[in-house]
Structure 1
Amino acid sequence: MLSPFAQRLGTNYCPTDVEVLEIQNLISQALHQLLSLDSAVEKHEEDRKTLSSYIDEHKTLLSPVRRLPLEILSEIFMACLPTDRFCAMSASEAPVLLGHICSSWRALSLAIPQLWASLHVVEPLRYETAAEKVVGQRLDGMKTWLGRSGQCPLSISLHCSSGNHNLTTDDEWAGIVAPPLPPDLFSKELIPFAGRWKHLDLVMYPEGFMALANLTAADVPMLQSISLFLHTSYFGIDDLDSAQSGILEGPSLSGFATWVSGLNRSLPLQWHLLVDLTIEADPWEPGLHDEQALETLSCCPQLQTCKLSLYLSPGTQLRLCPVELRHLHSLELFVDDASESCPSSFLYQLRVPNLRKLVFRGGTLGGSLPPFLSSCKCLDSFDIEGTYIPKFTLRKILRALSPTLRHLTIRDVRGGPVAGVSGSLDNDLLALFTPSDNTQWCCPSLQTLTVTCPHQASDLAIQQFVERRMAMGGSNATPSLKRICFHFYRPMELDLKIGLKPFIGAGLEVDTMYILPQPVSPPESPVLPSMEPVESSIWGLVDTAPSDWS
């Protein structure tokens, strides 16, 4: 825009009074033009937004997911379900979340009964404010959920916390008068669906289980597994009569789990048909004794997977015949040794020729573990954790491992993050995994190695271990390492991810973590527990109305 003052612009020129009026007139004309341009820009911008929205909305119609066949979309929905637990009544995860995307997805999710065939329910704490309302909401939600499952086999988990027991008169502890809610409200609601139970997981008091007492084997034709963990009763009903456990006689029942205190040989289980057995010890009771464990296992010749909590004592009488479990491929033992100096004979009396996976927690069984491992000729995975694993014992254990072993985990937890405590794995033991002219090397088929608390194993020794193992990768009989995981309780000496970079580039996974030892500080004064009600999220999901997730 040409200005009569063009030569004066950008200078220190001072206009006259007449020129001031002329300049003001020029500015006024320019402002008018600017306002016209701004109006045009705003209009163009509005037109642009409208056109852009028009384009985006039409592009949405062409979204590939809209063109997926319902069969494929249904499979995608099923793949969204958790695989390591039962489904929870939560609006933040499948299947409920799927129905919140759009009306068509909601209609499809409600039309797939398999999405609703798994359910985990936690009974609300009954001493909370408005407990009766919360209980009613969760009951309604449970019935609505199961009603959507059609005729599918059901996997149901029902957990009652210890805070729900015997609170109707304990006003001082609860802080309020708990409503007189029956203990079997939730278990009763499961009875109409008993014919479709497939997997049942119950954690409750005997009073809640009594609602299921009249069920018989004919009522649970599809039941394949049941986990029955009954809390100790304050009312004197500490265990159930076998006549009140008819559901344990289900014709399809092959899996059973319970507390040590709940193990009763008079239970009407078909022990000889069990393929999965779990016997856990709660924090207030010891594990199974040697003879009790062996006697139980001898009645289960078809076992394939087993998890036991054991309290092994010295002097166990040797059986006339060892217990042989030819079909067992997975065994987890949680062991509390009564005496290391006079070891138990439990493992000496157990034969598992086809064992593939062994998880071991606790004591070292007074030296009976290495001979047991030597008899496991097909072992593929071994996971050991102990609060005290002497170096000489760990050496024997490593040498006893089968050449078929591919996955090894060692957790020496006695050190922890406390300064001045050393672990059992050192450079010498690490050298057992690589060939030597003088010694036979361990685990030639090793693919993954996980070690926690290797205080005395140096970063350099670990790097050399990997380099030697990977150098043998060309041999068909010796697969290369695929993954190593080391968690140290010491400072880093060298960066393994830099030293092993060529192997990482070739596919090796390297996971390292360094936790510096912390000085031991004197204990603080104890803090008195609060009498305020515990938040419900500790015991399960935050309560929501069924309308929020349905």
Structure 2
Amino acid sequence: MPFLKLRRFFSRQHLQLPLPVDDEGIFGPSEVCASSSDSSRSPTPHGVLRSLPAPIPEDCDDQGYLDPDYVIFHAPAADPIDLGIAITEHDKEYSYGWNGEQRPLSLGSFDKRPFSFLGRGLGPSPTSSVDSEPESINPHLSILKLPDEVLRQVFLSYGTGTDSKPSARCGPLFLGQICRRWRTIVHYTPELWSSLTILAGNHVCVPRMPLLKAWLNRSKNCPLNLTIVYDGRMMERLGNFGSIDLVSELILTHSSRWHTMCFNYTRAKRLISMLSRIPPWGLPILHNVEISLRQRVAPPEQAPILSSLLSWAPSLRQLTCRGLAGLSQITIPTQLTHLDIEGLLSTKDCLALLRSGRQLQDCRFHMEHSQEESLDDSPLLVHPLRSLYISSQEHLGNFFDHLILPNLEDLGISARWTSARRLPPWPQRQFISLLSRSSPAIKSFAVRCLPMSDIELLESLLYMSDTLMNLEVYVVGGGEGGITITETAISALTFNDYHHNLCPKLDQLTLCGCVRAADGLLGGMLASRRTILYSPLSGCVVF
């Protein structure tokens, strides 16, 4: 598509289009009137189409957020494709093309012909027939024949995975600039407007409130996926909290459509104020919540943050928390299936969370706190748990002693430390006891910076040998205190047809900073396992 190709070639010549504001507050170049110094053309009421040798004006920032006054188009320096801008003049549509020469754009040099598409035909014109134009002249003829339903599905696929920040260079605002037909399809496809990132800080709000309101209104009744990033430190110095208050008030009016919410706040006060105003049972379809606080919150202050979400969200399945403490005081809803917690967690807190979440399938615990506390001697059976990732600075022996995980398939363990002397010893006996007691069919096993030997690693692999398909071993920080894969471990992993082999189903092996063996042994092990494919990744040796 020429408009997409257009973005890959830039020059210092920019085409400024003063744009009208439509009735819903979204700005686009679908109906731009132009005037020229040529006396044969009568001036039009909306503005002037002219070339600019200057850089992009300050009103259009480097992030590409749409300005209410104009949108900037970039003209390629030397591109043979024929570009064009849709112009409406006296109820007739025309396309003003450009032949690709490096010269300022002016209306006097443009060819005037019936408008059909950007460049050579970006949308049917009432004065021209699509079928009457041969495909050799109009290379976009096949696109013009696509029905609206097909284009709508293409737009939905195009919007998947793109940045949800309102920008004139991507997303629905970009698609709406192509032609009137595309703009109409985009405006009446609410799924394209269901994701949004809102930035509040420096006494401003991005996007601006008119665009934010129009964006949410165009999403109709679709479930909303919103990310709110609030930096209160910059606004506090200015004494202006108006923008975040307006954003909170507007977002709360759509709380019944919240599906995925991400709150990234510097302080908890503003978040508590917002969540405390959620009406009873006001979150009927909320499925995923992520809360990130860049300053630690004491347990008494965090209760209002989670109580509203957990009380009024019967459909909640995924919960992610960063910067919260004392989470053992919060009762996890029984319907929760995914839990990701990073904060001042102890072994008792983790066990309490696993005990309250009876349907948890995926848990990630980032433990930063340890204290002497009495624990129940009876092991905790967590039957539905499929994936467990633990990152800890402390000894994990008590945690392993109190768990039974019969259906565990994905296990990751990471030790976080600042020096080798602070690294606690690896609880090999408790870990082997957990594997023996649970008898899980582990398919993926990842260890990072664990103070275990390669012999202890091989002993652990014996309990998951029949099912293991992915093994990852990472050592960072120079390798001090982590696993060292020696010739003994490589020889044990070498496939042999004459006796029982360790991990016969292994098809992916990742070794990062931990191999201390001759290259010949490593190559021989890889050659013996012909199903393992080599693929380098981020400086690691991945097989």
Question: TM-score w.r.t. structure 2 length?
Answer: 0.65
Please say if residues 200 and 206 of structure 2, whose CA atoms lie closer than 8 Å, have aligned partners that are also in contact.
no
Report the Cα offset of residue 291 of structure 1.
1.1
Map 1:277-356 onto structure 2 (within 5 A). Answer: 277-281=339-343, 287-311=344-368, 313=370, 317-337=374-394, 339=395, 344-356=397-409
Which residue of 1 is the match for residue 17 of structure 2? Answer: none
1:123–1:153 Cα change, 3 Å:
same
Report the Cα offset of residue 275 of structure 1.
1.3
1:245–1:75 Cα change, 3 Å:
same
Map 1:250-269 onto structure 2 (within 5 A). Answer: 250-259=313-322, 261-265=324-328, 267=330
1:445–1:211 Cα change, 3 Å:
same
Please say if residues 422 and 456 of structure 1, whose CA atoms lie closer than 8 Å, have aligned partners that are also in contact.
no
Cα distance in structure 2, aligned partners of 1:351 and 1:164:
48
Map 1:514-529 onto structure 2 (within 5 A). Answer: none
Cα distance in structure 2, aligned partners of 1:244 and 1:212:
8
Q: 1:139 aligned to 206, 209, 231, which one?
A: 209
Which residue of 1 is the match for residue 336 of structure 2? Answer: 274
Q: 1:461 aligned to 514, 521, 538, which one?
A: 521
Structure 1 counterpart SS, 2:339 = strand
Report the Cα offset of residue 162 of structure 1.
5.8
Instruction: Tell me the amino acid that sits aligned with residue 353 of structure 1.
Output: P
1:423–1:288 Cα change, 3 Å:
closer
Which residue of 1 is the match for residue 506 of structure 2? Answer: 446
Which residue of 2 is the match for residue 76 of structure 1? Answer: 154
Which residue of 1 is the match for residue 91 of structure 2? Answer: none
Please say if residues 426 and 450 of structure 2, whose CA atoms lie closer than 8 Å, have aligned partners that are also in contact.
no
Report the Cα offset of residue 229 of structure 1.
3.0
Cα distance in structure 1, aligned partners of 2:504 and 2:163:
39
Structure 2 counterpart SS, 1:298 = helix
Report the Cα offset of residue 380 of structure 1.
1.7
Report the Cα offset of residue 181 of structure 1.
3.8
Cα distance in structure 1, aligned partners of 2:280 and 2:321:
19
Cα shift readout 1:304-325 (whole Å, capped 9, x = no counterpart): 1111112474866452432222
Report the Cα offset of residue 69 of structure 1.
3.0
Cα shift readout 1:393-447 (whole Å, capped 9, x = no counterpart): 333333333421212221111426xxx9996013321222223599853221111
Gaps of 5+ in 1: 1-48, 127-131, 169-177, 282-286, 471-479, 490-509, 513-550
Cα distance in structure 2, aligned partners of 1:459 and 1:65:
55
Cα distance in structure 2, aligned partners of 1:243 and 1:308:
19
Indicate yes or no: 2:470 matched with 1:401.
no
Cα distance in structure 1, aligned partners of 2:306 and 2:355:
25
Indicate yes or no: 2:167 matched with 1:110.
no
Question: TM-score w.r.t. structure 1 length?
Answer: 0.64
Cα shift readout 1:79-136 (whole Å, capped 9, x = no counterpart): 22344x8722233333333333333222212211111112222223x1xxxxx4x427
Structure 1 counterpart SS, 2:529 = helix
Cα shift readout 1:162-198 (whole Å, capped 9, x = no counterpart): 6446324xxxxxxxxx645465332222011101111
Cα distance in structure 1, aligned partners of 2:252 and 2:537:
49
Instruction: Tell me the amino acid that sits aligned with residue 398 of structure 1.
Output: L
Which residue of 1 is the match for residue 532 of structure 2? Answer: 481
Report the Cα offset of residue 330 of structure 1.
1.8
If asked which structure has higher relative contact order (CA below 8 Å, sep 6+), I would say: 1
Structure 2 counterpart SS, 1:195 = helix
Cα shift readout 1:43-102 (whole Å, capped 9, x = no counterpart): xxxxxx99xx9999754265323333332322222222344x872223333333333333
Q: Is the strand fraction higher in 1 or 2?
A: 2
Please say if residues 217 and 251 of structure 1, whose CA atoms lie closer than 8 Å, have aligned partners that are also in contact.
no
Map 1:108-257 onto structure 2 (within 5 A). Answer: 108-124=185-201, 126=202, 132=203, 134-135=204-205, 137-161=207-231, 163-164=233-234, 166-168=236-238, 179=240, 181=242, 183-204=244-265, 205-209=267-271, 210-232=273-295, 239-242=301-304, 245-249=307-311, 250-257=313-320
Q: Is the helix fraction higher in 1 or 2?
A: 1
1:308–1:199 Cα change, 3 Å:
same
Please say if residues 199 and 229 of structure 2, whose CA atoms lie closer than 8 Å, have aligned partners that are also in contact.
yes
Which residue of 2 is the match for residue 390 of structure 1? Answer: 453
Cα distance in structure 2, aligned partners of 1:426 and 1:179:
60
Report the Cα offset of residue 384 of structure 1.
1.8
Structure 1 counterpart SS, 2:427 = helix
Which residue of 1 is the match for residue 474 of structure 2? Answer: 411
Identity of aligned residues (%): 23
Bigger CA radius of gyration: 1
Report the Cα offset of residue 486 of structure 1.
7.1
Report the Cα offset of residue 356 of structure 1.
1.9
Structure 1 counterpart SS, 2:457 = helix
Report the Cα offset of residue 294 of structure 1.
0.6
Please say if residues 382 and 405 of structure 2, whose CA atoms lie closer than 8 Å, have aligned partners that are also in contact.
yes
Please say if residues 254 and 274 of structure 1, whose CA atoms lie closer than 8 Å, have aligned partners that are also in contact.
yes
Structure 1 counterpart SS, 2:506 = coil
Instruction: Tell me the amino acid that sits aligned with residue 193 of structure 1.
Output: H
Cα distance in structure 1, aligned partners of 2:325 and 2:447:
27
Please say if residues 447 and 483 of structure 1, whose CA atoms lie closer than 8 Å, have aligned partners that are also in contact.
no
Structure 2 counterpart SS, 1:383 = strand
Indicate yes or no: 2:441 matched with 1:378.
yes
Deviation larger for 219-228 or 158-167: 158-167
Please say if residues 427 and 458 of structure 1, whose CA atoms lie closer than 8 Å, have aligned partners that are also in contact.
yes
